[in-house]
Structure 1
Amino acid sequence: MAAETLASEGLGGVTGTARVVVVGGGQAGLAAGYHLRRAGLDFVILDAQAEPGGAWTHGWDSLRLFSPARHSSLPGWPMPPYQGPGYPTAGHVVDYLAAYEKRYELPILRSETVTAVSRAGTGLRVSTDTGTWAAEAVISATGTWWRPFLPLMPGGFTGRRLHTVDYRSPKEFAGQDVVVVGGGNSGAQIAADLVGVANLTWVTRRPPRYLPDDIDGKALFDVATRRRQAIETGRPDTAGVAGLGDIVAVPPVRETRDAGLLDPRPMFARLDSDGPAWTDGSGCRADAIIWCTGFRPALGHLAPLRLRTTHGRIPTAGTRVVAEPRLHLLGYGDWTGPASATLIGVGMTARAAVADIKATLDIGG
Structure 2
Amino acid sequence: MTVEPPAPTVDDIVADVDVVVIGAGQAGLSSAYHLRRLGLAPGAGFVVLDSSFGPGGAWQHRWPSLTLSTVNAVHDLPGSAFSDVVDTGAGSVPASTAVPAYYADYESRFGLSVRRPVRVTVVCDRGDHLRVETDSGTYRARGIINATGTWERPFVPWYPGVARFLGRQLHTRNYRTADEFVGQHVLVVGGGISAVQLLDEISRITATTWVTRREPTWSNEEFSPEIGRAAVAAVEDRVRRGLPPGSVVSVTGLPVTPAIRAARERGALDRLPMFDEITETGVRWADGTALDVDVILWCTGFRSSLDHLAPLGLRNPGGGITMTGRLATRVAADPRIHLVGYGPSASTIGANRAGRAAARELLDHLTSGVASP
The normalised TM-score by structure 1 is 0.86
Question: How big is the shift at 1:277?
Answer: 1.1
The RMSD of aligned alpha carbons is: 2.6
Residue identity in the other structure for 1:105 = G
Determine the structure 1 residue equivalent to 2:342: 332
Question: What is the rounded CA distance, in whole Å, between the counterparts of 2:226 and 2:259 in structure 1?
Answer: 19
Instruction: Summarize deviations over 1:212-264 as a string: whole Å, max 9, x none.
Output: 25226x565333356589999xxxxxx9763431x233443343234433212
Identity %: 43
Distance in 2 between residues matched to 1:304 and 1:351, nearest whole Å: 27
* Aligned equivalent of 2:304, options 297, 302, 309: 297
The 1:158/1:326 distance shift into structure 2, 3 A limit, reads: same
Cα distance in structure 2, aligned partners of 1:20 and 1:152: 38
Secondary structure of 1:108's counterpart equals coil
* Native 8 Å contact 1:20 1:138 kept in 2: yes
The 2-side partners of 1:298 and 1:284 are apart by 34
Q: Does 1:114 align with 2:120?
A: yes
Q: CA 1:140–1:180 in 2, change beyond 3 Å: closer, same or farther? A: same
2:335 alignment partner AA: P
Cα distance in 2 for partners of 1:315, 1:259 equals 45
Question: Structure 1: how far apart are the matches of 2:343 and 2:235?
Answer: 12
The aligned amino acid for 1:171 is D
Q: Do structure 1's residue 105 and structure 2's residue 111 form an aligned pair?
A: yes
Check if 1:148 corresponds to 2:147.
no
Indicate if the aligned counterparts of 2:26 and 2:352 stay in contact, CA closer than 8 A.
no
Task: Please list, as runs of the form range in 1=range in 2, the aligned pairs for 1:1-365 lying within 5 A after superposition.
Answer: 13-41=12-40, 42-64=45-67, 66-67=71-72, 72-80=75-83, 81-85=87-91, 89-155=95-161, 156-212=164-220, 214-215=222-223, 220-225=227-232, 227=234, 242-245=250-253, 247-317=254-324, 318-334=328-344, 340-364=345-369
1:326 is aligned with what amino acid?
Answer: R
Q: Which amino acid in structure 2 is aligned with residue 178 of structure 1? A: V
User: How far does the alpha carbon of each residue in 1:113-172 deviate from its partner, in whole angstroms, 9 at most, with x for none?
Assistant: 000111124111110011000111001110011111111111231211111111111011
Mark the CA change 1:360 to 1:115 in structure 2 (over 3 Å): closer, same or farther: same
* d(CA) in 2 for partners of 1:88, 1:220: 27
Gaps of 5+ in 1: 1-10, 233-238, 335-339
Residue 345 of structure 1 aligns with an amino acid whose one-letter code is G
Counterpart secondary structure, 1:109: coil
2:191 and 2:212 in contact (8 A); partners too: yes
**Using a 3 Å threshold, how does the CA distance of structure 1 residues 197 and 219 change in structure 2: closer, same or farther?**
farther
Number of matched pairs: 340
Q: What is the rounded CA distance, in whole Å, between the counterparts of 1:115 and 1:142 in structure 2? A: 12
Q: CA deviation at 1:13?
A: 3.5
Q: Which amino acid aligns with 1:343?
A: T
Secondary structure (helix, strand or coil) at the match of 1:324 reads: coil
- Aligned-partner Cα distance in 1 for 2:90–2:265: 24
Distance in 2, matches of 1:219 and 1:101, equals 32
SS in 1 for 2:209: strand
- Mapped to 1, the partners of 2:294 and 2:275 lie a distance apart of 16
Matched position secondary structure for 1:112: coil
Contact 1:23/1:141 (<8 A) preserved = yes
